[in-house]
Amino acid sequence: MRVRVDAAGNIRGVHAAASDTARRLYIGSHLDTVPHAGAFDGVLGVMMGISLVESLRGRRLPFSIEVMGFSEEEGVRFGIPFIGSRAVVGDVDAALLAAPDASGRTIAQAIGDFGLDASRMADARVTSNPLGYLEFHIEQGPVLDHLGQPVAIVDRIVGRSYADVTFVGSAGHAGTTPMDARKDALTGAAEWIGCVEAQARQIGGLVATTGRIDAAPGAANVIPGHCRVTLDVRHGDDATRNAAVDRLRSAAREIAARRGLTVEWLPRFDHAAVAMHPALVAMLTRAVERTGATATTMSSGAGHDAMILAPHMPAAMLFVRTPGGVSHHPDESALEGDVAVALAAGANFLDELAGGSGSEDPPLQP
Ligand code: GLV
Ligand code: MN
Ligand code: MN
């Protein structure tokens, strides 16, 4: 492959087609991960893309293949996910590049620190006539493990909303300030966190997480004057998710007002649920069936780069069983035999897309 690193830090390798004018199939996933992570979330999909190209042994198809290792999917450092794949679809603007990390360093500066030039972001954009996008990923949940099946075709990725919620009170002396004279930002946040969990438990399919909390000034003998909490809300139905976010925002305001605090709500990311492309889902289903494995279809509760690519080109995903459903944890794993089934399905998928006999005109229309 011809390999380059684009201005967003995505690593991309192109396997040329039989002709220069051919369309391009993108195969990708992400290279970054979460703190205290496992070894498979994201990077397995990139390795499988490389492996599929390797299995062609130099054979040219009627379309080119570009394997993408996206630089930033999880959103850990800047609180904003999918920076790598957003660059590829031209959705990185000046406001996004100016977003700071916890130390105040912006995305543009971090890109410069890495030796890349954020002003060249347009070069990351896909230009070739896209044929589609395919992503392999571990399931990260228990469904395939319970079914005893190696792989599943993804038909839909649920929507998600992220926000930073900051409660602001007054810092004060822990020994001298009476309990009824306090404006404790952290206890306000704690009450709201309990409310987030309670609300999510009441609504079928809703998941809501407060994954990070920072209290300031952060000393044992000082009443916290500031407390920032991250919120992550997901549901397959966008209206249900949006209504839940609205209720949680009202609850934060009510709790803050009752405790003499203020609350700042900073939306970080909102994405509707995304359907995978029906023709590619059908093609992937046939590709799995030809391996002899059961072609189960399921929706994804986790976010994936595919949800960013899907509005711009036909997209499809194949999940690989995750033993125990354990992910975002060092015990995350995948079974070699399952990866082999997924790779065989990937090879079948390439064959069908190539028209079986290597015709010049792949059958899929966007
Ligand atoms: C991505 O890993 C997510 O949080 O779904
Ligand atoms: Mn992840
Ligand atoms: Mn992932």
- What string of pLDDT tens digits covers the 366 residues of the chain? 999 999 999 999 999 999 988 899 999 999 999 999 999 999 999 999 999 999 999 999 999 999 999 999 999 999 899 999 999 999 999 999 999 999 999 999 999 999 999 999 999 999 878 999 999 999 999 999 999 999 999 999 999 999 999 999 999 999 999 999 999 999 999 999 999 999 999 999 999 999 999 999 999 999 999 999 999 999 999 999 999 999 999 999 999 999 999 999 999 999 999 999 999 999 999 999 999 999 999 999 999 999 999 999 999 999 999 999 999 999 999 999 999 999 999 999 999 999 953 444 455 554
Residue 77 · residue 110 · CB < 8 Å:
yes
In the block, residue with structure tokens 């407060």: 210
Provide the 10 A C-beta neighbour count for residue 94. Answer: 9
> What are the Cα distances from residue 115, in Å, to 95, 112, 209, 210, 336?
21, 5, 35, 34, 36
Using the mean position of ligand 2's atoms as its centre, give its distance from the Cα of residue 34 in Å.
Answer: 6
From the CA of 317, the nearest ligand is 3
Using the mean position of ligand 3's atoms as its centre, give its distance from the Cα of residue 303 in Å.
Answer: 7
Using the mean position of ligand 1's atoms as its centre, give its distance from the Cα of residue 117 in Å.
Answer: 27
User: Is the shortest distance between the CB of 302 and ligand 1 below 6 Å?
Assistant: yes
Ligand 1 closest atom vs CA 234: 5
Residue 348 · residue 166 · CB < 8 Å:
no
Nearest CA to ligand 1 atom 1: 303
Ligand 1 closest atom vs CA 302: 5
Using the mean position of ligand 1's atoms as its centre, give its distance from the Cα of residue 185 in Å.
Answer: 28
Alpha-carbon gap, residue 155 to 277, rounded angstroms:
8
Taken as a whole, the chain contains a residue count of: 366
Ligand 1 pocket test, pick from 40, 74, 235, 329 with the greatest ligand atom count within 8 Å of Cβ, gives 74
Ligand 1 pocket test, pick from 36, 328, 329 with the greatest ligand atom count within 8 Å of Cβ, gives 328
User: Is the shortest distance between the CB of 124 and ligand 1 below 6 Å?
Assistant: no
Using the mean position of ligand 1's atoms as its centre, give its distance from the Cα of residue 334 in Å.
Answer: 17
- Terminal CA-CA length for the chain: 25
User: Is the shortest distance between the CB of 305 and ligand 1 below 6 Å?
Assistant: no
Using the mean position of ligand 1's atoms as its centre, give its distance from the Cα of residue 14 in Å.
Answer: 27
**Tokens describing residue 338:** 């399952």
Work out whether the CA dihedral 88, 89, 93, 96 comes out positive or negative.
negative
From the CA of 302, the nearest ligand is 1
